[in-house]
Amino acid sequence: MVLFSPAMSWHRRMRSFLPALVAGVALLSAAYAHAFSLDDVTARAKALADKPYTAPVSNLTPAFANMQFGDYIKIQPRRETFEWNDQATPFRLGFYHQGMQFSTPVKINEIVGSGSNTKIDEIKYDTSRFDFGDLKLDRSATHHLGYAGFRVLYPINEPGKLDEVMSVLGASYFRVIGKGQIYGLSARGLAIDTGLPIAEEFPAFREFWIERPKPGEKHLVFYALLDSKRATGAYRFDLAPGEDSVLKVQARVFMRGPVTKLGIAPLTSMFLFGPNQQRDPYNFRPALHDSNGLAIHAGNGEWIWRPLNNPRNLAISQFQVTNPRGFGLLQRGRDFAQYEDLKDRYDLRPSAWIEPQGDWGKGHIELVEIPSPDETNDNIGAFWTPDQLPPKGQPLQADYTIHWTMNERGIIDRNLAWVKQTLRTAGEITQANLIRHFDGSTGLIVDFDGGPLASLPTGSVTPQVSVSDNATIIEQTLQPNPVTRGMRLNLRVMVKDPAKVVELRAALVAGGKAVSETWSYQLPPFSVAKQ
């Protein structure tokens, strides 16, 4: 089975993405009779879906095709050649060069003007835009190459100082950051057959149209045409950099052929270990992850928090939700001491929260967890899968907003307590001589914080806990946490068959109604510590 692609280790190390596919559709004329819009790209996507799929072909010379990571990252854009350096806009565009796994070029166009004055020109590849460092390359061999993707720069942290705020590179991957953030998890345009025992298909953005921002505009609009063996798509993106950068997405997806699983608004992240899972004894970090949980705001109003695992075997979790109000992979915990990593600064990596616009209907949010030995692999995926796909020729419409934020508490309903942390340990009992005795059970500690907890009378809050058939709860206590003014739930469970999964759920209730989000936890097979 292939999941997220074997090239993902490169994706992690270079903070980059999977290979981009070749642009191969009809060219637009330089002048346009009307304002360019999503409708234009949608028409192209529909026409493309009616044609047989044409697989991309690499145009790389051996020197670029066989390039190693250390050499590829030496190819950097020249700041003096950024697009729009001569324009009265705070935005700039830089480009990624082809090479290594980025074997086919992507076409990038600029939209200038509006209405009947709209003009569209291709931003031609130019070798002089790049600094090749000390690489010994035949410069004449680069003239037939192209761009692998682009980056958006904007002065988000200091006035007048350009910062990279968005990266679009490889397949349909992109990443965004806000003020004070560094790149972490990624988003994708579309996922096909992720987490199945068959090869995953990676749709790719073939062509982009980027609007030149007008003076004073603080947002950037661009369009993308997606192509794949079994789907095509038209996308409109509207990026607003800020304290929390916000990306509005409009997607129109056409099915070219049948798929087993279609993932809408997919997110991709990394979880190696944390307090809820045994850590690497040879690693000084208390935790190592880009995200540590999946948050869901269901259509019925329920809030769910599912801590992530790095399982021994592939794990798929599905949450049936009609008309989801939001979901995302979050990084809960912003204290440096929780990570202790000065190099990679996991404490500064953003969460991505997706808010669907309109009703998405019946379907489920799926969480994919893949075993990973190190942090170079993106081993976590989350996306929405509709129960029904439209017939051929009709688009699946999905509009949503992605918030790239470090204010995770601001996402959750302020009237509810949230799960601040989950701790896992070997279960123990205290003997008459006060010496601890490990009895083969698993201990779980869940800290609920915020919401109404600090103001509720003592004893008015009770836990509602459930466990699947493969385990028994042998101890359950709820106690006030005077440090956080929240509540701590202590559980001790005995797993019956360690080769099978265990599912647990818990929420705090007062006066007959939930006063916290729902903690949804999974003990993967073979995850119980041996005694």
Q: Are residues 142 and 248 in the same domain?
A: yes
3-class SS of residue 221: strand
Q: How confident is the model at residue 173 (pLDDT cuts 50, 70, 90)?
A: very high
Q: What are the tens digits of pLDDT across the range 97-118? A: 999 889 999 999 999 988 878 9
Same domain, 232 and 146: yes
Judge contact between 246 and 401, C-beta under 8 A: yes
Shared-domain flag, residues 36 and 116: yes
Neighbours of 125 (CB within 10 A): 19
- Residue 276 CA to residue 445 CA, distance in Å, equals 9
Distance CA 273, CA 424 (A): 11
Together in a domain, 124 and 158: yes
Residues whose CB is less than 8 angstroms from the CB of residue 77 and which lie 6 or more positions away in sequence, other chains included: 94, 95, 96, 129, 130, 131, 151
Q: Give the DSSP letter of residue 235.
A: E
214-221 CB contacts, 8 Å cutoff, 24+ apart? 214/89, 215/87, 215/88, 215/89, 217/89, 218/90, 220/91, 220/152, 220/154
With b for 16 or more beta-carbon neighbours within 10 A and e for fewer, the 387-425 pattern comes to eeeeeeeebbebbbbbbbbbebeebbeeebbbbbbbebb
pLDDT in tens, 318-347: 999 999 999 999 999 999 999 999 999 999
d(CA 222, CA 111): 9
Q: In the structure, what pLDDT confidence band is assigned to residue 142 with cuts at 50, 70 and 90?
A: confident
Distances 399 to 38, 76, 174, 245 between C-alpha atoms, Å: 12, 34, 17, 17
Which of 385, 410, 435 is the last residue before a domain boundary?
410
Token digits of residue 397: 């419409």
For residue 110, give the 3-state DSSP assignment: strand
Residue at 461 is within a domain:
yes
Q: What pLDDT is recorded for position 15?
A: 40
Q: Is 296 exposed, middle or buried (0-12, 13-18, 19+ CB in 10 A)?
A: buried
324 within domain boundaries: yes
Locate all alpha helices (DSSP H) within 51-179, ordered by sequence.
Answer: 62-65, 69-72
Whether 529 is covered by a domain: the verdict is no
SS3 115: helix
Same domain, 475 and 338: no
- Cα–Cα distance for residue pair 153/176, rounded to 1 Å: 11
Mean pLDDT of 386-411: 96
Q: Are strands 303-307 and 315-322 parallel, antiparallel or unpaired?
A: unpaired
Q: Flag whether 37 is in a domain.
A: yes
Q: Is 20's pLDDT higher than 70?
A: no
Instruction: Find, among 309, 315, 277, the residue nearest to 293 by Cα.
Output: 309
Asked if pLDDT for residue 436 goes beyond 80, the answer is no
State the residue for tokens 């709209």. Answer: 118
User: Does 81 score more than 70 pLDDT?
Assistant: yes
pLDDT at 143: 78
Pick the last residue of a domain from 410, 435, 469.
410
The per-residue pLDDT for range 477-518, each reduced to its tens digit, is: 999 999 999 999 999 999 999 999 999 999 999 999 999 999
Tens digit of each residue's pLDDT (9 = 90 or more) over 222-274: 999 999 999 999 999 999 999 999 999 999 999 999 999 999 999 999 999 99
**What contacts 425, CB < 8 A, 6 or more positions away?**
442, 443, 444, 445
Residue 58 domain-assigned (yes or no): yes
> Could you tell me the CATH number of the domain that includes residue 462?
2.60.40.10
> Per DSSP, what are the bridge partners of residue 164?
153
Q: Quick one: pLDDT at residue 18?
A: 32
Q: Supply the pLDDT for residue 9.
A: 40
- How far apart, in whole angstroms, are the C-alpha atoms of residue 198 and residue 161? 46
Rounded Cα distance between 256 and 46, Å, is 9
Is residue 531 situated within a structural domain?
Answer: no
Residue with tokens 């190592």: 288
Asked if residue 190 and residue 104 are part of one domain, the reply reads yes
Tell me which residue of 313, 471, 478, 314 sits closest to 381, measured CA to CA: 314
Alpha-carbon distance 237 to 221, whole Å? 6
Domain co-membership, 99 together with 132: yes
Please indicate, yes or no, whether residues 242 and 329 belong to a single structural domain of this protein: yes
Amino acid symbol at 372: S
Which of 62-66, 426-430, 438-442, 443-447 has the largest mean confidence?
443-447
Same-domain check for residues 291 and 161: yes
Q: Where residue 140 sits, what CATH number does that domain have?
A: 2.70.98.10
Cα–Cα distance for residue pair 274/488, rounded to 1 Å? 18
pLDDT in tens, 286-302: 999 999 999 999 999 99
* pLDDT mean across residues, the chain: 91
Helices (H) and strands (E) in the chain, counts: 4, 33
Last residue of a domain, one of 363, 391, 410: 410
pLDDT score recorded for residue 330: 98
* Same-domain status, 361 and 468: no
Please tell me the distance from the alpha carbon of residue 267 to that of residue 100, in angstroms, as a whole number: 24
The domain tally of the chain equals 2
Q: Which of 8, 184, 201, 32 is nearest to 115 (CA)?
A: 32
Beta bridge mates, 487: 448, 480
Q: Are residues 89 and 156 in the same domain?
A: yes
Domain extent at residue 450: 418-523
